[in-house]
Amino acid sequence: MSKLEENLMVEYPYKIEKLSIEDGGGYFITYPDLPGCMSDGDTLEEVISMGEDARISWIENAIDLGKDIPEPNSHMDNYKGRITVRVPRIMHKELIDEAKKEGISLNQYMIYLLAKGMKFKESNSSN
């Protein structure tokens, strides 16, 4: 099996976003592990097909140029699940007080708040 065939068999995660009318409508696909690998399409079926063509071209080009091809999910290596946030003292106190009221740790409460905010963002961006 050739290097190209081997690499084409690897499944890479992708992200599809719905484009606003101002951005031309349709859908946009990216492959986080393959920098610059992206495409668009009018329908989900089309964007997936176009994305697959872009992925194949990206891998062929990388092999032709002698570049390393990243492993799937390698873009996650920089994310360890830990962040440090500086907040005003009064906010820190209020967060601790609210966490105590809920009977959970400050960490769990902040994860809840972040998840709640992200869900709001996701539900608005999918429209």
Judgement on whether residues 113 and 88 belong to the same structural domain of the protein: yes
Q: Retrieve residue 6's tokens.
A: 């081997």
Q: 12: Cβ–Cβ under 8 A, 6 or more apart, which residues?
A: 31, 33, 34, 55, 72
As a whole number, mean pLDDT of residues 24-38 equals: 94
As a whole number, mean pLDDT of residues 85-114 equals: 93
As a whole number, mean pLDDT of residues 95-116 equals: 93
Judgement on whether residues 62 and 98 belong to the same structural domain of the protein: no
**What span, in angstroms and rounded, lies between the C-alpha atoms of 10 and 67?**
16
pLDDT of residue 118: 82
Judgement on whether residues 117 and 60 belong to the same structural domain of the protein: no
Residue 109's SS3 state is: helix
Report residue 112: phi and psi, to 5°.
-60, -50
What is the number of domains present in the chain?
A: 2
The model's confidence at residue 78, banded by pLDDT at 50, 70 and 90, is: low
Q: Which domain holds residue 108?
A: 80-125
Please tell me the pTM assigned to this model: 0.59
Judgement on whether residues 67 and 91 belong to the same structural domain of the protein: no
Judgement on whether residues 62 and 11 belong to the same structural domain of the protein: yes
Averaged pLDDT score across all residues of the chain: 88
Judgement on whether residues 10 and 65 belong to the same structural domain of the protein: yes
